[in-house]
């Protein structure tokens, strides 16, 4: 009953501000690292996962992702210096998302070749990124079960900003 009454407590005509979150299961065989975004490091130190939060986006989501891979959104230390092949793209189903696309590609990063899988998730005019990379093709294959499980657990969630209180009419 409380859940049904909550909309009545919100001021009429005022939009509820929410924050989108990209939710997922902790990747098996990975430990949480430090960084400006949630980071997961493979126990074998041969792969890393970065989860970039939702941010506003306007434009053609698929065209922009295919053209840029949202490269400028990636932390400088993990941003590809030079792609070694043409990315291959695949649509994904992510619960709560308007659209999601994955890109697989090989690149140089800091002079070392890396395998990448980058996922862009669009929800209500905002995009989040999931960037998975490994030191080699064999390292990517070794970590594939963890990557796959994480991808299948992806979902978009909403939360009200902390400190938000219901205001009387």
pLDDT at 12: 46
- In this prediction, residue 81 carries a pLDDT of 82
Q: What is the largest CA-CA distance in the chain?
A: 60
Residue 122 scores a pLDDT above 60: yes
Reported as a pLDDT band with limits 50, 70 and 90, residue 121 is very high
Higher confidence at residue 84 or residue 109?
84
Q: Decide if domain 28-157 falls under CATH 3.20.20.80.
A: no
pTM of the model: 0.82
b/e 14-27 (16+ beta carbons within 10 angstroms → b): eeeeeebbbebeeb
Q: pLDDT per residue over 35-44, tens digit each?
A: 889 999 999 9
Residue 111, pLDDT > 80, answer: no
């Amino acid at each position: 009953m409380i859940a049904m009454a909550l909309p009545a407590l919100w001021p009429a005509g005022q939009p509820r501000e929410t924050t989108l979150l990209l939710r997922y299961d902790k990747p098996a065989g990975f430990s949480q690292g430090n960084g400006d975004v949630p980071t997961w490091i493979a126990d074998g130190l041969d792969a890393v996962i970065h989860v970039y939060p939702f941010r506003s986006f306007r434009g053609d989501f698929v065209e922009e992702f295919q053209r840029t891979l949202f490269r400028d959104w990636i932390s400088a230390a993990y941003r590809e210096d030079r792609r070694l092949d043409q990315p291959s793209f695949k649509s994904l189903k992510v619960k709560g998302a308007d659209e999601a696309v994955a890109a697989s590609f090989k690149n140089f990063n800091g002079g070392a070749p890396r395998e990448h899988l980058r996922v862009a998730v669009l929800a209500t005019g905002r995009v989040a990124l999931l960037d998975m990379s490994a030191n080699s093709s064999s390292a990517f294959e070794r970590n594939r079960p963890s990557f796959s499980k994480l991808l299948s657990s992806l979902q978009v969630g909403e939360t009200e900003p902390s400190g938000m209180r219901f205001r009387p009419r």
